[in-house]
Amino acid sequence: RNAAGGLDAFYEGLEEDDEEEEGGVADTPNPRVTAADNINNTRSLDRHLDARLLLLTRRASDGRWCFPSAPYSCEDPSSLDAVRAAPLRGDAEQSLAAAWGDKLDAWYPGNAPVGFWLQAYDEETRARERCYGRKVFFYRAQLLGGFIDLGGGYDDWRWVTHDEARAYLGGGEGGGDDAMEATWAMAARA
């Protein structure tokens, strides 16, 4: 036999295997709508299996929903050496640990933020802080495992889709400003 004849016999054997499997129990995918979807359990990751979920935490101090956050820990942001020694990703990791405790295992796909939001201060705050505003950097993290141990000034959490997050954060159609719209555009790409 030639090489082509050998391949034909190989493919015929595969087709026979497929026919045998079809005669047995059919493989059906699991449904994408879960019990958590049916009762709208936003504390469960077992929901909206067809979408990426975002973690929102509620601050105990004012009851506002937000992404876990922490201030930049660089001691002297005007010093280039100090900025290089205090990478932003470390603060992102610390903010997630502050929100969830150290029982959470997360993976950060890169060292660079996936986006940022420039929050401009009002005139009074500009005069007091002696700066135009602040930049809020966003990092993407994938949950690998662990369990929730809230801390760091947070008292509740939710796993929400992008559309649901708009309602919690007050952004999006009819409720947000241009900066929040830019944030949604960034989050949709992440």
CA dist 157 and 52 (Å) reads: 16
| Residue 100 confidence (pLDDT) above 50 | yes
The whole-model pTM stands at 0.66
CB contact set of 111 (below 8 Å; sequence gap of 6+): 87, 89
Residue 151 has pLDDT above 50, yes or no: yes
Record the tokens describing residue 161, joined without a space.
């889709």
Report the distance separating Cα 22 and Cα 15, nearest Å. Answer: 11
Q: 30 falls in which pLDDT band (50, 70, 90)?
A: confident
pLDDT for 185 equals: 57
At residue 11 the predicted structure's pLDDT band, cuts being 50, 70 and 90, is: low
